[in-house]
A and B are shown apart, each in its own frame.
Chain A
Amino acid sequence: MWLIRLAWKNIWRNKSRSLITMAAIFFAVILSVVTSSLQDGVFDNLIKNMVSFYSGYMQVHKKGYWDEQILDNSFAASPKMEQETLSGKNITAVSPRLESFALASSVDITKGCLVVGISPEGENKITRLNEKIIAGNYLHEADNGVLLSDGLARRMQLKLYDTIVLIGQGYHGSTAAGKYRIQGILKFGSPELNDKALFMPLALAQDFYGAYNQLTSYVISLNENNLLKTTAEELRLKLGKEYEVMTWEEMMPEVAQHIRTDTASSKIIEAILYLLICFGIFGTLLMMMVERKFEMGMLVAIGMKKHKLAALLLLESIFTVVTGCLLGILVSMPVVIYLNRHPLRMSGDMANIYERFGFEAVFPASTEATHFITQGIIVLLIGFLLSLYPMARVIRLKPVNAMRR
């Protein structure tokens, strides 16, 4: 107890030095907590946007479908399997699709297009397809009409309520052909979708392709992207070898790679920040050791055990670091919460790019506790490691040498 009191008093023997050390830790914690929360928020948002384009967080296919995306690699729809999938932890929605390519014709224009059979309601939960309608009406299960993407409509010079003819290869080599009324026009941010996609109710697509009760995929939406890998792994085990479960990271490796590089570069910046803090703290520790060398020699001379003296120094470091760290976390909490409630809004060119892709250029900071905990632990660890140095010096201290002037 008296050792703790002495440690506390020792911190304040050189007020400005301790305050500078604490302030350095304080600002380092705030800076790193806020940046990592912001960055996580940006990526969360980016991922949410990316997966709600089209892919969902995960998809289930028949094994081999991803490498050879043909109708013959489809599987039989199974309400039981859908139910089982939906029951997985962290899974919020599951929606079936049957998709393949076909040729679309108007009077005298023919273009390739992606014909996607969907469950109108299920799809909404994952990609919010109905929000992309710019003309006409969204689909119902039993409708006979289709939704055409804006770019494709323009390329084919088709308007709402015109008729579109589709011809393609159906299931097991059959020929697929049909004539459909355009009941809605969709506008997508992604040029790829906007120039190619055509949506129709699942039953209509199965009829068109002659693939009755067949699906090419279940599209899955998650609650928590952090648990992406474990959720996928659990589902893989549940569904067995006949199916492949793919995460968005596997389906869109470029996006995943981009996030990884970006995270890595900000980790490096964080590391540099902490390295600077380390040097700062180490400098003050060195100064402290020089200043108190005689006194430490004197303390050992009169009978203070070295491990006790080392404990004193450790306590002093812990007090300094913990104070700075706690204050930093305390202050960064409202900052992060504020940045969550009042998200950063991107402006200028970047915002235009984002908005063109159908993203809202708004980035709420992530308020997850892990940011505070991780940064807190890192700083504590740094403080502890650095204080090992004076402790080691004390263990080797010889009072006669320390007290020589």
Chain B
Amino acid sequence: MQTVIDAHNVSKVYNPKTIPVYAVNNVHLHLQRGEFTALVGPSGSGKTTLLNLIGGLDKPDNGSIIINGVDITGLSANELIDFRLRNIGFVFQSFNLIPVLTAKENVEFIMQLQKTRRQERENRIKSLFRQIELEDKINVRPSQLSGGQQQRVAVARALASRPQFVLADEPTANLDSKSAANLLDIMTKLNKEENITFLFSTHDQRVIERARRVITLVDGQIANDTARVSTLHEVAGQAG
């Protein structure tokens, strides 16, 4: 087993001088390669803040965050950008894609930032679109895709850079339940078949049920951390 995320004693306080908000309070979190973990909790419990800290988008006021052996709290803003590019895949709640680029170009974009060679980019794009089951929409602009399709392209983009793990902040929040289930299907499949590590936040019960590990945040603190041998979904699958 390989540790990809090792967060120690991490805290983030907003408005420390006026009315302090302990958005993340003394959190310890370890994630192994290949995990499929949901970060749950009520609105305002600190899920987004914690994901931003782990993703190197924000700096903690306290503690260390070690990603793949590198303490990212010591990196400069510029180094962090490069670190994110090479190590972390991001899926946001919505508006993930550049509207003027096609689905393919959006996925290619991240590899162009990485200066990946053209042939390799083409190969990767082909296999990624097969995996997200959108081979027929490859040359379509985001505005012509449904919300669920857009999120699948965002997952492909997050994976294009071959990151250590993928962070997804409420990726299904703007989706209907069918699209949400479909997105989760694809994420699960990628996790199983490619051993991709996912850490995603959600407060949708049906999404939570699909996770193999569920971390519950309450007021910025981890209230519960449960690993499940197999999910209900998988049990149902085995029965059928």
Contact = CB atoms under 8 A, between A and B. Distances in A.
B92 interface: yes
Contacts of A63: none
B184 to A, nearest CB: 22
B37 interface: no
A305 B86 CA distance: 12
Q: In the complex, which of the residues B82, B98, B157 has the most CB atoms of chain A within 10 Å of its own CB atom? A: B98
B52 interface: yes
A302 B100 contact: no
Interface string B96-117: 1011110000000110111000
B58 interface: yes
Interface in A245-268: none
A87 to B, nearest CB: 63
Interface string A291-313: 00011001111111110100000
Interface string B155-178: 001100100000000000000000
Contacts of A388: none
A400 B48 CA distance: 10
Nearest to A10: B100
Contacts of A304: 81, 85, 113
- Size range of the interface on A? 20 to 34
Contact of A302 (B52, B58, B78, B85): B85
Contact of A295 (B57, B82, B95): B95
Contacts of A308: 113
Nearest to A2: B112
A294 B52 contact: no
A288 interface: no
Contacts, number: 55
B95 A305 contact: no
Given A400-B57, A400-B58, A306 B100 contact: no
Interface string A384-403: 00000000000000011001
Contacts of A403: 92
B12 to A, nearest CB: 11
B90 interface: yes
B100 A301 contact: no
B84 interface: yes
Nearest to A13: B100
A302 B101 contact: no
A6 B101 contact: yes
Interface string A1-32: 01000100110110000000000000000000
Nearest to A305: B81
Contacts of A10: 100
A298 B95 contact: yes
A376 to B, nearest CB: 28
Contact of B78 (A298, A305, A399, A400): A305
Contacts of B57: 301, 399-400
B28 to A, nearest CB: 22
Given A2-B112, A399-B57, A303 B100 contact: no
B198 to A, nearest CB: 16
Contacts of B58: 400
Interface string B69-102: 0000000001001101110001010011011110
Given A9-B101, A302-B85, A304-B81, 8 more contacts: A6-B101, A10-B100, A298-B96, A302-B84, A302-B90, A303-B114, A400-B52, A403-B92
29 contacts: A2-B109, A2-B112, A6-B98, A6-B100, A6-B101, A10-B100, A12-B100, A13-B99, A13-B100, A294-B95, A298-B95, A298-B96, A300-B81, A301-B55, A301-B84, A301-B92, A302-B84, A302-B90, A303-B82, A303-B84, A303-B85, A303-B86, A303-B114, A303-B161, A305-B78, A306-B81, A308-B113, A400-B52, A400-B57
Interface of B: 52, 55, 57-58, 78, 81-82, 84-86, 90, 92, 95-96, 98-101, 109-110, 112-114, 157-158, 161
| Top 7 closest pairs, chain A to chain B, by CB | A303-B85, A9-B100, A303-B84, A13-B100, A400-B58, A2-B112, A400-B57
